[in-house]
C-alpha cells in the first residue's frame, strides 16, 4: 500500500507502498516540489512509505508504577520501547511496548537521528524563503509523531503524537499535559501538539475543509487546547479517530504535512500532466495586451528564475501582461500598480505554475492565481486551498498558498486570470 504524507511548508510527499497500493506524504506545503537546497536523504519534499521487509510496529504491554528515578531508568534501559509519564518527583508511570508483527511504524520529526524516517524542517513562507533566512528556534519537536500502518488490507494508517528516541523511549515530563483515562490507561499531549484535519468529502474537487483536532500520544482525538502549548487538554471527540484519510493535513507546529492515499494518488494529475498543461498554454501564444509580445510560462526546472517572456498579472483584476516598469501608484508599495486595461490598482507579480501535483484536487487547466504570490493552478484547487485555515505559529490560523506558504489575501484569496490571445 502506498500512503502519502505531503505538505510541510516545504512540500514533503510521503509515498507508502503496501502490496501495490500507496500513500504519499508531502513535507511542507510551500516549496513547490522540492526543498530550497534540494532533496537529500531523509530530508526531502515528498516521502514514499513502503511496506518494510520485517514488521517494526509496537503495541502497549506491561505497565509499571515507579516511585524512584532509578527504577524508571532501569526499565527504560531494557532495550524495549516505552513511554514514561512523570506524574510527580516521586511517581512515574512507565508503559512498556512489545513487538507488533502486524504493523509498520514510521517516525517523523526534526531530529536527524536514526529513529526518524522522515526529517522535517520549519516552513519558510514566500519571500522569506532564501539561503540567508535562519530559523532561530524551531517549534517542531525532534521526535514529533509516528505513523503506524497495518501490513494487511485495507492497510489502515494511524497517527500518534510523539516519536520514540534513540533509546526507544518517549518521555512526558512533569509539566506536560498527561492524564489517566477512565479505563486506566495513561495518555498525554506533546508540548506544541500534533494537529490533524480531515477534509470533508475526501481530497476531491468537491472537498470542503474539516475541523482541526489534536492527536494524543496514544492516538485519541481531542478538540484544540486554548493555546497550542496549554497544559489543559481539549475535550475528547469520541466519534472521530486517528486514521489518516486521503487529503488529511498533519500540523507539527512549524511544518504542515499532506497525506495522500494510493487511490487518491491514482486520480491525482501527474507531473507529466502539469507539464502538458504548461505547454498547452504556451502553444496558445498568449500575448501582453499592451506590448503585444508573446508570453510563456518557464519550464518547471526553472521555476525560481523570472524569464523575459514570463507572464505577469494584476492580482486585483486578473489581467495578464508581460513585464513593464510603469504604472506605479505608491512610493511605499513597490508592487502596487494600475492595470492599463481596467485601471484597477493592486499587486503586480510574476506568475508561477504550481508544480507539486499532490496539491491538486483535480486535473483542470491552470486558470487561477493565488494572491499575493502569483502561483497558478486549477480553479478547484485554488478555491479549495483558499478555504483551508492552516495553523500559523502557536496561536493563529490563516489560508496560505500550498506552493510557497505565503499567507493569502484579497477578497477571495485567489483570482481568475484573464489572458489575451494572439492578434494575427
Which mean pLDDT values do the consecutive 10-residue runs of the chain (424 residues) have? 42 40 54 50 71 95 83 68 91 94 96 92 60 61 95 94 95 90 94 95 91 98 94 96 96 92 86 94 92 89 78 95 77 76 92 92 95 96 95 86 91 93 60
Quick check: is 78 in a domain?
A: no
d(CA 307, CA 162): 44
Pair (289, 190) in one structural domain = no
Quick check: is 95 in a domain?
A: no
Quick check: is 70 in a domain?
A: no
pLDDT at 136: 54
Which of residues 201, 236, 265 is at a domain's end? 265
Pair (337, 222) in one structural domain = no
At residue 302, φ and ψ (nearest 5 deg) are -115, 40
Encode pLDDT of 245-260 as tens digits: 999 999 999 899 999 8
Contact by Cβ (8 Å): 286, 294:
yes
Pair (209, 333) in one structural domain = no
Give the H or E element holding residue 61.
strand 57-66
Pair (22, 156) in one structural domain = yes
Pair (176, 314) in one structural domain = no
| Residue-range definition of the domain harbouring residue 276 | 271-416
Pair (13, 156) in one structural domain = yes
Q: Calculate Rg over the CA atoms of the chain.
A: 24
Pair (165, 214) in one structural domain = yes
Quick check: is 94 in a domain?
A: no
pLDDT at 304: 67
Which of residues 229, 244, 265 is at a domain's end? 265
Pair (22, 165) in one structural domain = yes
Strands 169-172 and 81-88 turn out to be: parallel
Pair (260, 279) in one structural domain = no
β-bridge mates for residue 214, sequence order? 195, 222
pLDDT at 20: 36
d(CA 245, CA 197): 10
What is the number of alpha carbons within 13 Å of residue 298 lying toward its C-beta? 16
pLDDT at 46: 81
Quick check: is 203 in a domain?
A: yes
Which of residues 265, 297, 320 is at a domain's end? 265
d(CA 346, CA 67): 65
Number of DSSP helices (H) and strands (E) in the chain, helices first: 4, 29
pLDDT at 332: 57
Contact by Cβ (8 Å): 269, 360:
yes
Quick check: is 93 in a domain?
A: no
What are 85's three cell numbers?
509519564
- Other Cβ atoms less than 10 A from the Cβ of 262: the count is 22
Pair (280, 150) in one structural domain = no
| CATH number of the domain bearing residue 42 | 2.60.200.20
Pair (141, 8) in one structural domain = yes
- Other Cβ atoms less than 10 A from the Cβ of 40: the count is 9
In Å, how far are 82, 197, 212 from 209, measured between CA atoms?
A: 36, 8, 9
Number of domains in the chain: 2
Quick check: is 132 in a domain?
A: yes
At residue 275, φ and ψ (nearest 5 deg) are -65, -40
Quick check: is 69 in a domain?
A: no
pLDDT at 21: 42
* DSSP code for 43: B
Pair (282, 254) in one structural domain = no
Nearest residue to 186 via CA among 198, 172, 201: 172
Amino acid at each position: 500500500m502506498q500512503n502519502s504524507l505531503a505538505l510541510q511548508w516545504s512540500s514533503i510527499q510521503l509515498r507508502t507502498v503496501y502490496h501495490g497500493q500507496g500513500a504519499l506524504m508531502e513535507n511542507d506545503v510551500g516549496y513547490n516540489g522540492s526543498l530550497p537546497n534540494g532533496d537529500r536523504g531523509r530530508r526531502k519534499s515528498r516521502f514514499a512509505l513502503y511496506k518494510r521487509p520485517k514488521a517494526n510496529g509496537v503495541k502497549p504491554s506491561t505497565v509499571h508504577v515507579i516511585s524512584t528515578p532509578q527504577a524508571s531508568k532501569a526499565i527504560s534501559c531494557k532495550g524495549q520501547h516505552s513511554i514514561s509519564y512523570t506524574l510527580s518527583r516521586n511517581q512515574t508511570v512507565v508503559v512498556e511496548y512489545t513487538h507488533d508483527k502486524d504493523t509498520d511504524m514510521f517516525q517523523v520529526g526534526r531530529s536527524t537521528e536514526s529513529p526518524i524516517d522522515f526529517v522535517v524542517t520549519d516552513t519558510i513562507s514566500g519571500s522569506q524563503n532564501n539561503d540567508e533566512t535562519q530559523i532561530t528556534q524551531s517549534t517542531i519537536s525532534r521526535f514529533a509523531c509516528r505513523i503506524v500502518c497495518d501490513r494487511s488490507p485495507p492497510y489502515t494508517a494511524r497517527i500518534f503524537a510523539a516519536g520514540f528516541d534513540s533509546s526507544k523511549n518517549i518521555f512526558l515530563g512533569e509539566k506536560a499535559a498527561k492524564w489517566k483515562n477512565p479505563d486506566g490507561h495513561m495518555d498525554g499531549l506533546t508540548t506544541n501538539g500534533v494537529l490533524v484535519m480531515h477534509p470533508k468529502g475526501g481530497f476531491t474537487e468537491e472537498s470542503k475543509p474539516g475541523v482541526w483536532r489534536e492527536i494524543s500520544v496514544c492516538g485519541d482525538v481531542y478538540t484544540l487546547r486554548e493555546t497550542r502549548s496549554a497544559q489543559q487538554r481539549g475535550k475528547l471527540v469520541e466519534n472521530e479517530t486517528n486514521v489518516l484519510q486521503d487529503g488529511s493535513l498533519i500540523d507539527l507546529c512549524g511544518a504542515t504535512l499532506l497525506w495522500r492515499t494510493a487511490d487518491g494518488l491514482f486520480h491525482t494529475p501527474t507531473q507529466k500532466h502539469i507539464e502538458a498543461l504548461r505547454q498547452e498554454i504556451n502553444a496558445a501564444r498568449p500575448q501582453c495586451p499592451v506590448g503585444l509580445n508573446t508570453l510563456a510560462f518557464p519550464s518547471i526546472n526553472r521555476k525560481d528564475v523570472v524569464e523575459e517572456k514570463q507572464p505577469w498579472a494584476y492580482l486585483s483584476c486578473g489581467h495578464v501582461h508581460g513585464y513593464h516598469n510603469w504604472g506605479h501608484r505608491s512610493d511605499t508599495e513597490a508592487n502596487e500598480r494600475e492595470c492599463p486595461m481596467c485601471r484597477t490598482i493592486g499587486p503586480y507579480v510574476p506568475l508561477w505554475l504550481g508544480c507539486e501535483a499532490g496539491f491538486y484536487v483535480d486535473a483542470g487547466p491552470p486558470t487561477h492565481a493565488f494572491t499575493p504570490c502569483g502561483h497558478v493552478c486549477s480553479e478547484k484547487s485554488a478555491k479549495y486551498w483558499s478555504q483551508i485555515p492552516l495553523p500559523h505559529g502557536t496561536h493563529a490560523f490563516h489560508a496560505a498558498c500550498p506552493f510557497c506558504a505565503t499567507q493569502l489575501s484579497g477578497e477571495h484569496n485567489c483570482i481568475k486570470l484573464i489572458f489575451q490571445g494572439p492578434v494575427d
